[in-house]
Structure 1
Amino acid sequence: MPAGSVERTNARKEEIINACEKLYQTMSFKEITLKEIGKETTFSRTSIYNYFQTKEEIFLALLKREYDSWISELETITESRDSMTDDEIADALAGTLDRRKQLLKIMSMNHYDLEENSRMERLVEFKRSYGKALTTVKSLLAKFRKDMGEEKQQEFLYSFFPFMFGIYPYTVVTEKQKEAMQKAGVDYTYSSLYDLTFIAVKRMLKN
């Protein structure tokens, strides 16, 4: 770890993560390199290695930040309401995911590579946020669906989180992909991320 204050270290990390996030708006995961990320920071590429050893670690840190932001919003929703109907729960979860397409994009496309090519300490940091996301959703259910019980809450989590990993490719589709579907003769109706999530959560809550 480089010399300097904790604040400076955290600021450097955030700058690297922000640079990665910026590139990910217009470039694919494969195209992004540590060299490209370094060009977007105020310090040299070699300095990045003081904080992250691979680009996967940077993406994992970005994914962790996305989870933390999602958790914060879910906690606010849970704390600010005294009661919620199933429709309101579905609306809340669908709305928070619809505002976090980057979270879902990283999860669906690169999750395994990020974990496999990150140091254990970075992976543990990420898993803490992932674990907190699980408990935060469970806390929402415990408060507003007291009839579900522990087993039903777990069943919801085992359905909802895998659903999150797959929803992005079904709802964020390029024109090239649409054209290919048409030429292949596949009759497919495209729905929004919000709509599909809302419908899925409603069904999960009924099971």
Structure 2
Amino acid sequence: MMYVLTPKEKEAKKQLIAAAASKLFQKNDFNQISMAQIAHESGVAKGTLFNYFKTKENIFMYLLLSGYQDYLTEVLQRFQKTENITSWADFSSFILEQNHLLISQRTDLLRLNALRGPILETAADREQTLAGRKKLYEINRKLGQAIAERISLLSVKQASHLFIIQSAIISGLMNMMNLDEFHHDQLPVDFKVFQIDLEQEANQLMLFYLQGLEQKLEGAK
């Protein structure tokens, strides 16, 4: 009689595969990683791997969406624990600290975000992606709600939207970084204008956005 995995065991296997893919992504570009490598790294037969993820893009879309779900959940927990955030200045400092944590601790998540539109969506499962985005949307809404309850100028929608702006700023800067390199090799050029301190530039742009938003909201009162 064939043993059938329980839902809990299936979820554990899925997480094992995702963790193996994430580990490979830390040292390799997306195009260098194969399904065979992921199967080997996770200790799962290649045929079994396809029972959980039909394509490589599906695995990495799952990592992207679950990674952002985890990140926003952590932001929510940090915000709830920091009870002294009541003013706009306090909140701005909190957002810049989240920039630091996202850039310093979630580099792989930012790299995956750059792949989403042009690469991952071409072969990821539509329904699984939609389910993941619904979970992400709900977490983002809860975070926005928690912020809006304490920062009176912001609506839930505006507070939630800030983390889309955060991602857009950081991802946009990352796309323009290292234009003096090609596939990790240094080019024989001197492109000083293209050299970017990612965190410094991201913080400056986010602060400009927050200052402008505060002025707009104060003016609308």
- Could you state the TM-score of these two structures normalised by the residue count of structure 2? 0.77
Give 3-state SS (helix, strand or coil) of 2:175's partner. helix
Question: Which whole-Å CA distance do the structure 1 matches of 2:116 and 2:126 have between them?
Answer: 17
Deviates more, 1:104-113 or 1:41-50: 104-113
Report the equivalent of 2:202. Answer: 197
Q: 127-136 or 151-160: which moved more? A: 151-160
Q: Does 2:104 correspond to 1:105? A: no
Mark the CA change 1:37 to 1:150 in structure 2 (over 3 Å): closer, same or farther.
Answer: closer
Tell me: CA distance 1:133–1:107, structure 2 relative to 1, closer, same or farther (3 Å).
farther
Query: What pairs with 1:1-207 in structure 2 (closer than 5 Å)?
Result: 3-84=4-85, 85-98=90-103, 99-139=105-145, 141-149=147-155, 152-153=158-159, 156=162, 159-170=165-176, 173=178, 176=181, 179-180=186-187, 183=189, 185-193=191-199, 195-207=200-212
Q: Distance in 2 between matches of 1:87 and 1:153?
A: 12
Q: Per the alignment, in what secondary structure is the counterpart of residue 194 of structure 2?
A: coil
| 1:136 CA displacement | 4.5
**Which of 5-14 and 156-165 deviates more?**
156-165
| Superposition deviation, residue 140 in structure 1 | 5.0
Taking only aligned residues, the RMSD between alpha carbons, in angstroms, comes to 2.8
Percent of pairs with identical residues: 16
| Paired residues of 2:18 and 2:63 also in contact (CA < 8 A) | yes
Q: Is the 8 A contact 2:170 2:198 kept in 1?
A: no
Return the letter of the residue paired with 2:169: F
Post-superposition Cα deviations, 1:117-149, rounded to whole Å, max 9, x if no partner, equal 122221112212331353245235414431234
Distance 2:42 2:17 in 1: 6
- Give the Cα separation in 1 of the matches to 2:112 and 2:155: 32
If asked which structure has higher relative contact order (CA below 8 Å, sep 6+), I would say 1
Question: Partner letter of residue 82 of structure 2?
Answer: R
Deviations 1:61-110 (A, max 9, x none): 11122112202211111211223214422333213312211111100134
Q: What amino acid is aligned across from residue 22 of structure 2 in structure 1?
A: E
Instruction: Deviation per CA, 1:2-47: give whole Å up to 9, x if none.
Output: 9311121011111111111111122211121111111112221011
Name the amino acid aligned to 1:206. Q
Partners of 2:162 and 2:211 in 1: CA distance = 10
Amino acid paired to 2:70: S
1:30 corresponds to which letter in structure 2? Answer: N
TM-score (norm 1): 0.82
Report the more deviating stretch, 11-20 or 74-83.
Answer: 74-83
SS at match of 1:169: helix
Q: How many residues align?
A: 203
Distance 2:25 2:164 in 1: 29
Rounded to whole Å, the distance in 2 between the matches of 1:155 and 1:67 is 14
CA distance in structure 1 between the partners assigned to 2:106 and 2:157 by the alignment: 28
